[in-house]
Amino acid sequence: MPLRFDRAAQLTLHDDRFFDPNPAIRSIARALYDETRALPLVCPHGHVDPALLADNARLPEPAALMLIPDHYIFRMLYSRGVPMESLGIPTRDGTPVETDPRVIWQRFAEHYYLFRGTPTGVWLDYELHELFGIRVKLDGGSAQYIYDQIDERLAAPEFRPRALFGRFNIEVLATTDRATDSLEHHRAIRESAWVGRVIPTFRPDALFRIATPEWPAEVAALSDACGRRITDLQAFRAALAERRAFFRSMGATATDHGVVEPYTTRLGEETANALFQRGLNGEATPADQRLFEAHMLVVMAGMSVEDGLVMQLHPGALRDHNPWVARRFGPDKGADIPVATEFTRNLAALLDAYGNDPRLTLVLFTLDESTYARELAPLAGHYPAVRLGPAWWFHDSIEGMTRFRQSVTETAGIYNTAGFNDDTRAFCSIPARHDLSRRVDANYLAGLVARHVIDLGDARTMARALAYDLARETYRLDVPAPRAHDLARRTMSLR
């Protein structure tokens, strides 16, 4: 029996989507966007698995590609009572899960209406329309037809990861990697004939959590990676510096630090080493860990001054807020919930030590919008070391991006911000996220032009900076990247 569904429900993307309905603003926004839409994509922070591009294997079937790895999707379905097991999300406690990808896709499609008006819906519609050429709306009736269309396209050589890298016009893609990672996939990419630029990012968070049960294993992994015993803080710092140098040799330009609060402090050597020893002896308390993490953030800033790695700070998420989900499915399953965040006092120790040193670039992110105008913009508008990262997580949305620009630009300008990064695990969503950002920024600047705050020439320069220049400058991505058509040509030759 042929599949039957409403083909009249066409999936279309309006040329003026996300632009102001006021025709004066809309026409300026359209002109600004037209100048930035084809710029290369600079992706300085994200979580794409480098094995994807090292192996260059066929991408998985649609459910495994688009749904199962993406907590933006399954967290919404879970919030409406759809069990994660029914979506094929792997469990860590042995609970059986659905394994039929078509059943999983059908369930997702029947609940696709939940994403109306959300950034996830915007990204998914863009992927379906622009990447896979789908022209009917996804719902329960069209689910299997669309599944077949996507699966057929995924089998083609032009949908291999490296080919898509070229098609997306990605100039550079940074991954996020544990400090003890061997970077074997990055090495494989570098040693291949492919010319795509994929670089690691140094993330040492697990090595600073001295009160966690996992910490001894983390220190042992660091010891193995460096080939040295680590019995005191001095050896620990030396090992970290060695690993940073290794990451730099593999192309890294940045570090990344995820914390609940951006608390920093400078401890004396004896006090800091005593905390470290309590960790080694299994005696560290959560209070000890808080102090040690705060001290190590200042140490990391000092190392960044010396080696030039840009320092990113992602505070404000209470990780794995739902303990039942964490126990059954593991971490990073959509239950990272924002908390109120204070920067001015918490960052005082770090900024007192290095905030006036232009050799440090400290990129601050937040989930707490109340800090934009009150703290972040004034900090970035004063300290030479501080840049503001783009609106992040729940705020990488149409309205959230606009609120961010409105809150920080008057105090910090745009040149104390880091442009845009997509911060995603979902490789196929990267161009959708950049397109959304470029449209929203074009619309924001168009409003300033319409109100005669800036002129059109300034707006054109600013639009390019937000879309491309600022990310390259902030993250020190100054090595020339291959041209897109060269990348596409080389990709075709490697299939």
pLDDT category at 481 given cuts 50, 70, 90 is very low
Q: Nearest Cα to 354, choosing from 292, 308, 421, 408?
A: 308
Q: What is the C-alpha to C-alpha distance for residues 259 and 293, in angstroms, rounded to an integer? A: 9
Global pTM value: 0.93
Pick the CATH number of 58-159 from 3.40.30.10, 1.10.2020.10, 3.40.50.2300, 3.90.800.10: 1.10.2020.10
388 neighbors 376 (Cβ within 8 angstroms): yes
453: pLDDT strictly greater than 50: yes
Give the tens place of pLDDT for each residue, 41-100: 999 999 999 999 999 999 999 999 999 888 889 999 999 999 999 999 999 989 999 999
Same fold yes or no, 23-56+168-493 and 58-159: no
Q: What is the C-alpha to C-alpha distance for residues 269 and 283, in angstroms, rounded to an integer? A: 19
Query: Residue ranges per domain, the chain?
Result: 23-56+168-493, 58-159
pLDDT category at 410 given cuts 50, 70, 90 is very high
Q: Cα separations (Å) of 480 from 41, 123, 197, 471, 472?
A: 14, 29, 10, 14, 11
Fold of 23-56+168-493: TIM Barrel (3.20.20)
27: pLDDT strictly greater than 80: yes
Burial of 216 per CB tally in 10 Å (0-12, 13-18, 19+): middle
Q: Which two tokens stand for residue 163?
A: 């080919």
